[in-house]
Structures are given as C-alpha cells and as structure tokens.
Amino acid sequence: MNLVEIKHYLMQVKMTSLASISAYFKCDAELMRQMMSHWLRKGCVRKLSKTPACGGSCMKCAPSLVEIYEWVN
C-alpha cells in the first residue's frame, strides 16, 4: 500500500470510513489515519464526522466507524 494506491481507491469510492479503508488495505486504523493526513494537507480529502445512526450521544461507536473521508479533488 502506498499513497497513490490510496488516492486511486478514494477517487473510485468517493467517500469511505476509516474502518472501511483500513480493512480494504489490511492495515491498522492509526496507520491509515496518518496516511490520510497527507491527502488532507494537500486539500484533496475532506474529513467528516458521522453522527451515530441511533441519534444518541453515548459515544460508544468506534471512532474509526464515524471518521469519514471524502475525495474532493
């Protein structure tokens, strides 16, 4: 996995969670978060926070499930 592979994946899917992209590339979520920071700094990716589907505020959802990345460039 390298930055170009991540870029191509994001351009294809448009929007994905940190958990999904980490699973796709079979890597740790924290490592993927660091890789995504490159594209965030370049302005090619936007980081979104998803609210839980239940609408609650218990904060029991895994952070990697509610951390969403969108390709914008």
Q: Which domain holds residue 65?
A: 3-71
Which two tokens mark 6?
A: 């991540």
Q: State residue 49's pLDDT score.
A: 72
Q: At 27, which CATH number?
A: 1.10.10
pTM, two decimal places = 0.79
Total number of domains constituting the chain: 1
Measured between alpha carbons, how far is 59 from 73 in angstroms, rounded to an integer? Answer: 31
SS (H, E, C) 22-70: HHHCCCCHHHHHHHHHHHHHHCCEEEEECCCCCCCCCCCCCHHHHEEEE
**17, 32 in Cβ contact below 8 A?**
no
**44, 72 in Cβ contact below 8 A?**
yes
Q: What are the tens digits of pLDDT across the range 9-52?
A: 999 999 999 999 999 999 999 999 999 999 999 999 999 876 65
